[in-house]
Structure formats: C-alpha cells, structure tokens
Amino acid sequence: MTRLHLVRHGPTHAKTMVGWSDLPADLSDKEALKRLHDHLPPDALVISSDLSRAMDTASAIQGQRQRLPHDPDLREIHFGNWELRGFAEIEAEDPELAFAYWDNPGDVRPPQGESWNDVRARVDAAIDALVSTHTARDLVIVAHFGVILTQVQRALDLDGQQTFSHRIDNLSVTDVTLGSNWSVGKINHLP
C-alpha cells in the first residue's frame, strides 16, 4: 500500500491566476509549518513541483525525511494568457470561455494554456511513476491546488465539476491511499 500525503504549498497572497509563474510562498507561519511537519510520517519521502513556492514549502517541512528531486510535472495548471490576471479581467474579456473553463472542466483551455484534462494526464503520469518507483512507501508531495484536485478526482472517480467543489487550503494535507483500490482519507486537513 502506498500513501500519498498531498500538501499544498504556503500562500503567495496573489489575487490573480497563478499557475506556472514562480511566485514565492509566505512561510512566516512557523507554528503551522511545525504542525504540518509533525503530522506527516517521519519516514516518508518528500518531493515537490519545481516552482519555488512548492520547493521552499517542502524544505520547510522536510526535517530528516529523504528528499527526491523536484518534478516539473507536478506544477500547477498552466493558465496561459490568463496567468497573473484577475478573475474579473478574464471574465470581462471572454465571459463564455471563463465560465466554461470553471463550470465544465475538461477540454476547455485558456488561450495558450492547459485544459483540465491536460493537467490531469500530466499529473497522473507523474504520480504513477512515483508510485511505481516507490511502492509501499509514504510520499509527501508538496504541490498545488490543481495537482491535489487531480488525485482527489482520480481516487473518488468524480467529474470535473464535483472535483472543483473541494476546497484545498494552503498548508493543508489531503491523504490518498493506493492499494487494490484508490481511497481518500481527509481532504484539506489543516494539522
């Protein structure tokens, strides 16, 4: 049995669409980071996306755990031309596309960006490779809102709209177990 402890990185405080932009995380809440560190299995392997907000969060909670090389396939959704723009601005520019992207996640793409199905395929492949290489291990995966939701969707066999109804806070943990079947423990747990 392999257990995934999916951790969302520390907050960026951005009020825009932040996908592949490399904004730093605010890691000033040392108590929250300590609680998170203490909550995670001490013998787990730690991996993160290659964006600094995830890498720095992983470093802050790693402790004595073994670190794996960061993985660009664990990046957030690539928002393309919507990157670092506010929701209101995007909706004003193309309300139908903005509505379709969030209301019916699947094949709809922001201009020059990824669809939900693109993100899901990329992240699923990365998770499958990790699980294949590190079978029967605890893996702490420090990543992003979209990355975590892909695995919630996968484990619970949800459609895109159901998936986006889940909240994933910064510095939260979502537990997914892979045995003969996928199962989900706590979603968005704040230790």
Would residue 190 count as lying in a domain? Answer: no
Short-list 181, 146, 173, 180, CA closest to 75: 146
Measured distance between the N- and C-terminal CA atoms of the chain, rounded to whole angstroms: 23
Q: What are the backbone angles phi and psi of residue 57, rounded to the nearest 5°?
A: -65, -45
Would residue 71 count as lying in a domain? Answer: yes
DSSP code of residue 20: S
Q: In what side-by-side order are the strands of the sheet with 45-48?
A: 66-67, 45-48, 138-143, 2-8, 173-178, 182-184
Would residue 189 count as lying in a domain? Answer: no
Mean pLDDT by 10 residues, the chain (191 residues): 97 95 97 98 98 98 98 98 95 94 91 97 97 96 98 94 94 93 94 95
**pLDDT recorded at residue 104:** 84
**pLDDT recorded at residue 53:** 98
Which residue in 9, 70, 78, 144 is the catalytic one? Answer: 9
Number of neighbours of residue 183 by Cβ within 10 angstroms? 14
76 assigned to active site: yes
Would residue 191 count as lying in a domain? Answer: no
The domain in which residue 61 lies consists of: 2-184
Would residue 72 count as lying in a domain? Answer: yes
83 assigned to active site: no
CATH of the domain at 136: 3.40.50.1240
**pLDDT recorded at residue 75:** 98
Per the structure, the count of domains in the chain is 1
Which residue in 5, 70, 76, 114 is the catalytic one? Answer: 76
